[in-house]
Structure 1
């Protein structure tokens, strides 16, 4: 399996035409750029969110061009400290133009089976998947690109189902 880097995956935002959708299934992420801000948040200190500037600029550019960027977080309740921090920081994603919803794991329909080994994925224009792969410590290894029509169709179906069940960020009270 060939993996692309996070930077290469982010370049996919330059080529999609309508919609980018991210399904997040993990209750903890070990993203190196977040280590310091997350630790500050855990200690109750002010958090420097400047590390998010490149992402915010990218999303502002994309959504300013009329494209949508959506994110659905399937989370366990009660939340891990990381998800609590992520919820507190979501305002920055939304200010950039992302539409974010939350779905507690215990509200998942019984028939839901996550494709792609239960990994997170980005779906671009209902035609291309960038599937995230992680190491044993939760660090991102890279993304696998998949265009197989049956796999993409299953992810589109799952996205539509879960999005309809999820709660918009502003209404979700952990």
Structure 2
């Protein structure tokens, strides 16, 4: 069985960065881009969000507050979209989704819906479509900045973000961008996924502590 590009990314040598360093480093790389695409690939169906009021409201069972917070982010999101547009950048986020959706995915999807309505590019792809790429392990969580650098985002056992592995191999970065772009072409617009799968769901009851 041949190695996929995602297997090679997991095995690749790189610089391990803690969370603050990763954020600062990726911001610098974004500033160096002169147009092009920034790819974000999300595979896990649960993350433990940090410093996020909407997440805090979610785990407290306050769904009304969750939606209020997401709605209140519209102006900031539009500003981000405009900032990318001025620089000729496209931020494309590909969300791998499992069925049935986890409570976390349901929560996140309401945020993604707002982002799309404000101009962000987000698409959804059923996990069954990537099963052939996951014989060794699930797809890694990735950020790919043009053809310059990629980051394999790192999490602890509870899926709390702890930083990233930075990979500078240009050939690997270029292949990674092409691989995510190929998955993107097979995915569906996020609003279609939201209407079909998320919209009919009842409000998740997170008072039981079930966010996964």
Please state if 1:44 is matched with 2:63.
yes
Cα deviations across residues 18-64 of structure 1 (Å, max 9, x unaligned)? 21110111101111123314336x44323223578766644431134
Per-residue CA shift, 1:105-140, capped at 9, x if unaligned?
012262x25999732111111331022001111111
The alignment partner of 2:101 has SS state of coil
Instruction: Sort the Cα spacing of 1:62 and 1:120 in 2 relative to 1 into closer, same or farther, 3 A.
Output: same
Q: Does the 8 Å CA contact 2:116/2:191 hold for their aligned counterparts?
A: no
CA–CA distance in structure 1, aligned partners of residues 86 and 59 of structure 2: 32
Q: Which has more radius of gyration?
A: 2
* CA 1:15–1:23: 2 relative to 1, 3 Å: same
TM-score normalised to the size of structure 2? 0.69
Question: Once superposed, which parts of structure 1, at least 4 consecutive aligned residues long, lie more than 3 Å away?
Answer: 49-60, 113-118
Partner of 1:79: 101
How far did 1:96 drift? 4.4
In the alignment, structure 1 residue 31 sits paired with structure 2 residue 31? no
* Counterpart residue number, 1:163: 184
Which structure 1 segments of 5+ residues have no match?
none
Residues 81-90 or 140-149, more deviating? 140-149
Q: 1:2 aligns with which of 4, 7, 16?
A: 16
Cα 1:94/1:51, change in 2 over 3 Å: closer
Higher mean C-alpha displacement, 53-62 vs 91-100: 53-62
Q: Deviations over 1:119-169 (max 9, x none)?
A: 211111133102200111111111222121342233123212201110011
SS in 2 for 1:46: helix
**Using the alignment, how far apart are the partners of 1:5 and 1:157 within structure 2?**
23
Match of 2:30 among 9, 13, 20: 13
- Other structure's SS at 2:63 match: coil
- Give the root-mean-square deviation of aligned CA atoms: 2.8
Structure 1 pair 7/33, CA: closer, same or farther in 2 (3 Å)? farther
Alignment coverage as a number of residue pairs = 172
Unmatched segments (≥5 aa) in structure 2: 1-14, 198-212
SS of the residue aligned with 2:113? Answer: helix
Q: Which secondary structure state, in structure 1, belongs to the residue aligned with residue 111 of structure 2?
A: helix
